[in-house]
Structure 1
Amino acid sequence: MRSTQYSQTRESIIAAHMSEVIRDLRLVDVADYIAFIRYELFANIADIVNSATELHYFPQTLQFGHGGEYELDWDRHPRIILDMEFRNMGVYAYFRVLIDAEGSQIDLNHITFDQASKSPTHNTERLALAFEDARIPGSPRQATG
């Protein structure tokens, strides 16, 4: 997706809501992710993602998108890239989570809104509201900042 001021803001919103999920994803050894991706055992990754999201989000709102990659070479730390899908309140976001030793990053690929507003700012607010609405009430939340 072409980067705009709105896509950067939307990536920040997603990153803030993904922080505890990414923290849980990092509990799995990077070698396991590499093996699962290399041998196309994506159901195993889906199970890991489901376990990481089930404490924080209602079922079927945030899930693994059934694709992933890894970057591994001699000159840097390994990086895991997982496709993710978010669906709630007429907001559909398709993004990638990039995880490495340095931290994590969100790369928003595509986002659509049912009955989209002509105002990108309003649509961005809908994304934030949809993520808040998808959260399980009382779920543990990691401080962001």
Structure 2
Amino acid sequence: MKRTQYSVARVEIISTHLSEVIRDLRLVDVADYIAFIRCELFGNIADIVNSATELTFYPDTLIFGLGGEYTLDWNSSPRVMLDLEFSNMGVNAYFRLTLSAESAEIDLHHVRFADTGNSPADNTALLASAFEDARLPQFITPGKIG
């Protein structure tokens, strides 16, 4: 996607909402991701993504897009790229999450709005609302008293 002020803001929205999911995806060994991608066992990666999202998002709002790649060579740390899809409130976002030892990056490919706003800023606000609405309520367990 062409880099604009709106795409930068949209990537920031996605990144913010995926922080817990990224943390959970990093619990899986990078060798497992590479093996699953190399052997085209994308269902296994879909299960991992579903497990990583189940405590943060409602079911089927954030899913694995059945595509992925990796880079693995002698000169750098491994990188795993996973295609993800977000869908809620008539908003569909298609993006690639790149995980490495140093960072996690979002490459936004496309955003589709069933009902577009009056401006790109309205659409960006709609994306933020869709992510907020897709999040499960976070319950705080009260601690023991006395």
Indicate the residue corresponding to 2:58 in structure 1.
58
Residues 63-110 of structure 1 show CA distances to partners (whole Å, capped at 9, x for unaligned) of 100000001111110000000000000100000100000020100000
Indicate the residue corresponding to 1:110 in structure 2.
110
> Matched residues in 2 for 1:53 and 1:115: separation?
26
Structure 1 vs Structure 2 CA RMSD: 1.0
Alpha-carbon distance, 1:139 to partner = 5.9
- Number of residues of Structure 1 aligned to a counterpart in Structure 2: 140
Alpha-carbon distance, 1:118 to partner = 3.1
Task: Give the partner amino acid of 1:5.
Answer: Q
Indicate the residue corresponding to 1:49 in structure 2.
49
* Correspondences of 1:75-90 after superposition (within 5 Å): 75-90=75-90
Greater relative contact order (CA < 8 Å, ≥ 6 in sequence): 1
TM superposition outliers: structure 1 runs of 4+ over 4 Å: none
Indicate the residue corresponding to 1:14 in structure 2.
14
> Matched residues in 2 for 1:39 and 1:118: separation?
45
Structure 2 stretches of 5 or more lacking a match?
141-146
Determine if contact 1:55/1:139 at 8 Å carries over to the other structure. Answer: no
Task: Give the partner amino acid of 1:93.
Answer: A
Structure 1 stretches of 5 or more lacking a match?
141-145
Determine if contact 1:33/1:80 at 8 Å carries over to the other structure. Answer: yes
Overall identity of the aligned pairs, in %: 64
For normalisation by structure 2, the TM-score amounts to 0.93
